[in-house]
Amino acid sequence: MNRTATTASVAITLASALTLTACGSSDGASAAADKKQTLSVWAMGTEGEKLGDVAKEYQKANPNITIKVTPIGWDVAHQKLVAAAAAGKLPDVMQMGGSYMGEFADMGVLEPVDTATFNKSDFFPAGWEQGTVAGKTYGVPWYVDTRVLFYRTDLAEQAGVTKAPATMNELQQAAEAYQQKADAKWGLSIQPGGLDTVQSFYQFLYSAGGEIVTQDGKAVVNSPEAVKALENYGSYFDKGLSEKSVRPGYDVTKDFNSGKVAMFFGGPWMMGLLNENYPDIKGKWAVANVPTDQSSVSMAGGSSLAISTDSEHKAAAKEFVKYLTDAEGQADWFERTRDLPANIAAWKSGELATDPDMTVWKTQMETAKVSPVQPKWTEITSKVDAAIESVTQGKSSAKEALDKAQGEIESLVK
């Protein structure tokens, strides 16, 4: 059998299996929350490694509940979830990345969130939106993620930069000053091309008021706002402020440590990496909100916790998810993992309330923007990756590149 036929056969078989799975009713028999039972839980990456310790603490307070946590690598997570969904063998509770939610909600394998138990207003809007598909919520926010500006404060003094850049104009002025007066080779490290370049571009795009696709499914990547954002992004490469060629697997923290790079946009885990790997520059760097264009808007990421439609332990699963996502559980999870809490109340005490750096992250999350739910989102963003690279490498103007991407994306949106 040729490869195409094999692929088609597998696709048909998988589709049939998913159709059968989707027929499972959320009204099926489910054990009471206090009955003796075992919950199966899948979690990914670092979260999967750390969740077992939290589960042990939960079991001490709930001796009738045994929690079996299975850590799964992000590189195989999607494949395993799809296979389990097709076989009707999803765990009771699973971690779901924002890009997965629409796909699995469409399969009919996720239990809608009980909004009498979980209140939308308790969470950052962007966190809640990531678990919502077509007006119905399927995931409770577990942790959130965004990007802010990291900058070297000691080099800023040398460069005569007296405060963090507050506007996009100030950002470029600071990049120039770092190069000219503080011997930084690159004023700002942003990605010039390749896979997921769009994640580096989001801060420019969203702050300029642009989008790739609207929440109602309209492609708008060549809007005047988006063109302006890409012109601004490309100007860093035109002026030699950012490196045009970055090798795969590039670790910006090494060049940030040496002073070769003065500024970059990064996620919350970068703080831990810098403190652990480069203690000599502790106190010589800081974080700031994304500089304002029309506004200060960053990308939103993170993960939600979802319950399987076919779970026979929904009541107990709901109680465990509640434990992980209430203010106390979220504060504890932050201490264990440094993941940013999705529950707003968790930010009202301890380090989350008193550390100025954490205030920056909280402020950024309040305006962070989620990507629309689109089945072909990865393919859509690849078109934007190509447009950005065309501009950073001087092959086309921002308008030309985004007009091309617009035509390609229009056929991909749902």
Average confidence score pLDDT of the chain: 92
- The full DSSP string for 307-363 is EBTT-S-HHHHHHHHHHHHSHHHHHHHHHHH-PEESBGGGGGSTHHHH-HHHHHHHH
What pLDDT is recorded for position 29? 58
**Tokens linked to 79:** 């494949």
Domain boundaries, position 290: 148-298+374-410
pLDDT tens string 92-111 = 999 998 888 888 998 999 99
Answer yes or no: is pLDDT of 8 > 80.
no
CA distances from 58 to 4, 79, 366 (A): 49, 29, 30
| pTM of the predicted model as reported, rounded to 2 decimal places | 0.87
Residue count of the chain, please give it: 414
One domain for residues 42 and 100: yes
Predicted confidence band of residue 3 (pLDDT cuts 50, 70, 90): very low
| End-to-end CA gap in the chain | 33
Predicted confidence band of residue 246 (pLDDT cuts 50, 70, 90): confident
Answer yes or no: is pLDDT of 72 > 90.
yes
Q: How much of the chain exceeds pLDDT 90, in percent?
A: 84
Predicted confidence band of residue 348 (pLDDT cuts 50, 70, 90): very high
What pLDDT is recorded for position 5? 33
What pLDDT is recorded for position 24? 38
Asked whether residue 43 is assigned to any structural domain, the reply reads yes
Answer yes or no: is pLDDT of 12 > 80.
no
One domain for residues 196 and 51: no
Answer yes or no: is pLDDT of 21 > 70.
no
Asked whether residue 6 is assigned to any structural domain, the reply reads no
Torsion over CA: 362, 367, 370, 371 (sign): negative
One domain for residues 227 and 275: yes
What pLDDT is recorded for position 100? 87
What pLDDT is recorded for position 1? 32
- What CATH number should be reported for the domain holding residue 339? 3.40.190.10
How many domains would you assign to the chain?
2
3-state SS string over 177-209? HHHHHHCCCECCECCCCCCCCHHHHHHHHHHCC
Answer yes or no: is pLDDT of 22 > 90.
no
